[in-house]
Structures are given as structure tokens and as C-alpha cells.
Amino acid sequence: MAGVNRFINSCVACGNALKWIPVVFIVTVIVWSYYAYVVQLCFSKLQSCFLPIVFYLVIYHVLLVMLSWSYWQTIFTPVGTVPKQFRLSAADLERFEQAEGLEAHQQILEQIARNLPALTRTPIGPRYCEKCVHIKPDRCHHCSVCGVCVTKMDHHCPWVNNCVGFKNYKFFILFLGYAFIYCIFVAFTSLPYFIQFWKVPVMHANEIPGTGRFHVLFLFFVSIMFSISLVSLWGYHIYLVLHNRSTLEAFRAPIFRSGPDKDGFNLGKYNNFVEVFGDRKSHWLLPVFTSMGDGVTFPQRHMDEDEDSLLGARSQRWMEEGGVENTRLETNPYHVVNLDPLVQTV
């Protein structure tokens, strides 16, 4: 039995190690691009083009630092997990497991969800995760790779070996943006030398000698290839931010009591942007956490008086129980008109 457990643990460890292969690939490309651009291109041209090359090096290193910082934050920021208040108690779980029939299960979940600020639901009742044994907060989904429910989950990204959700969504968007600008900068600044390589003999006095020539040629092609793929992905996520949707919500609209609505959390483009990037403009371009809210409660676009009263009471009980932690939304998150700075309505 001990041998079987060791074998299983070894397989799990190997599986976890394999998940890092895409990250290692990205890091390897970045390290190689540094060698090709700084060592092979810039240093070889430093004497003949001093001022332009120094300018290139300064801009390049700024972009590299911001790219690496954003990538690090995306990878190593822990995913936002569901607060313990959403978990079924031992008594509720026993009652839920002993109940027979779907209707009985849904009635129990409805009773439990009455004290929780959960707006979205399935077509038949509250959203419930059988693996994590809790009611799902709004915009929360279970990740089969991470094995937990992630708050405001967007998707699981193998290139960062992490889920992209409430805690690191800003970092992910900044990573895509800085990676695109990095690739475009490298491509445009290496373009003149790329053209020169096809016109000037290899052993020309001002030419880059040896294998450096091929490093720079390959650098230009790789930067163009990555920039093409990055611009579409980055543009798509900017679109999602401005419409306040996650990737999962774009494919399957969240269901409210009034029915499915892809724009249920849409507060207007500026408010949507502020919800992700925060109200401090000086921090928008920095990979530091400034997102609004707690990842559990979110303002809605539309809400009738009955829902407003019901969910306002839930929110009050939720806050009294200490459910809101590290939140920057100091007012009732269900009143869009009272939010600060989310003060505009659609």
C-alpha cells in the first residue's frame, strides 16, 4: 500500500512539474531575446550608433522590467478562493446528502443561500459546487486544474500555470500589453539591421559577425510572430474589461432571477475599467493590486426594488458576519448609484 501511495505521489509530482513547461518556454524566450537584442545587436552597434543604441537600451530595459514584473505577479498571485461563509456547515451538508430528489436539494440550497450575497444562479436554483461543498458566489467557477473554486474566474492559463481571476486579472492584462509593446519595440528597432543584413556582406566592417547575425534575424521573426498573436488576445481582453465580462461569461451568460444577461454587470466603460484597474490613475500601469471590491459581491446593471431590498438585507448580514475583507467598496455594492467611484449608471 505504501508503494502504491509513493507511486501516486510521484505521478502527481511529475504532473505538477510538467505544468511548468509553458512557463519555462516563455522565460527561455525572454532570456534569449535579451541576449540577442542587448548582446548581439546593441553592443555590436554601440560604437557606430552610440546615442540611438543607448536610447534603445533604456527603453528596452524599462519594458523588460514591466513585462517581467507583470508576468511574475500573474504567475505567483494566489487565486481568489471562496470565503468560508459560503461553505455548507456539517449539519447542512448532512441534511443535503440525506435529501432525496433534485427538488429537495434545491430547497435546501435556497435556504442556505438566503443569507449569502449571491445573485446569479442556475436555471433551477442557487449555484453549488459539489467538489468544494459550498454555494458559488457571483462570477465564481470551479477550476478542474487548480482543484478549487476561483472568484471571478476568467480562465485557466497554461502559459502562467495559474488561474486568471479576480486577484490577478489586472496583472494578466498588463502582461499581455507589455509583452505586445516589447515585441513591437524589438521588431521596429531591429528592422533596419534586418534589412541591412540582406544588403551588406556578412564580413562588412559595420556588420554583426558570426552567429550574431542569425540571432538578430531570428529575433525579428520571433518578435513579429508573437506580436501578431498577442495583439488579438490583448485586444479581446480589453474588450471584455470595457464590457465587464469574463471569458466564461462571454461564452455563457450569467443567469439572474430575471434570466440570462451577458451585460448584467456592465456599469459603463469607464466604471468597468475602474473596477479592474482601480481609481488611482497613477497605479493603472503598475502591476500592483488596485481592483475594486472583494471578488465576491459585484454591482449590477439593473435591479428591481424587490431584489434590491432582498439583496441589501443579505449584504448587510454578510458584512456583519465579517464576510467582506480587503474591500475598497465602502458602500452597498448592490446600489450602483451609490458606489464610489462607480457612480455612473448605464
pLDDT for residue 186 = 96
pLDDT of res. 335: 38
* 72 and 105 fall within a common domain: no
Buried b (16+ CB within 10 A) or exposed e, 241-251: bebbbbeebee
State the pLDDT confidence band at 315, using cuts at 50, 70 and 90. Answer: low
Q: Are residues 124 and 248 in the same domain?
A: no
114 and 247 assigned to the same domain: no
Asked whether the predicted pLDDT for residue 346 surpasses 70, the reply is no
- pLDDT class for 341, splitting at 50, 70, 90? very low
Structural domain span for residue 44: 14-80+161-283
Q: Are residues 178 and 273 in the same domain?
A: yes
> CA 344 to CA 157: how far, in whole Å?
33
Q: Are 219 and 41 in contact (CB under 8 A)?
A: yes
Which pLDDT score is estimated for 53?
87
- Cα dist. 320→84, 199, 212, 316 in Å? 14, 73, 65, 6
pLDDT score recorded for residue 9:
67
Do 76 and 89 lie in one domain? The reply is no
Q: Has residue 337 been placed in a domain?
A: no
Q: Is residue 213 domain-shared with residue 254, that is, in the same domain?
A: yes
Q: Quick check: is 157 catalytic? A: yes
Beta strand ranges found along 225-305 (DSSP E): 255-256, 259-260
* Global pTM value: 0.85
Looking at the structure, tell me whether residues 75 and 88 fall in a common domain: no
Give me the catalytic one of 42, 157, 163, 183. 157
Number of domains present in the structure of the chain: 2
Last-in-domain residue among 236, 255, 283: 283
The CA distance from 47 to 206, in Å, is 10
What are the pLDDT digits (tens) for 129-183? 999 999 999 999 999 998 999 999 999 999 999 999 999 999 999 999 999 999 9
Q: Domain for residue 290, yes or no?
A: no
Residue 120 sits in the same domain as residue 246: no
Grid cell, residue 223, equals 518578435
134-135 vs 141-143, strand pairing mode: unpaired
Average pLDDT across the chain, whole number: 84
Q: What is the pLDDT of residue 342?
A: 39
190 lies in the same domain as 202: yes
Q: Which of 212, 217, 218, 224 is nearest to 194 (CA)?
A: 217
Residue 338: what pLDDT?
A: 34
Domain boundary among 120, 136, 152: 136
Query: Are residue 168 and residue 278 in the same domain, yes or no?
Result: yes
129 and 249 part of one domain = no
More confident site: 8 or 167: 167
SS (H, E, C) 49-60: CHHHHHHHHHHH
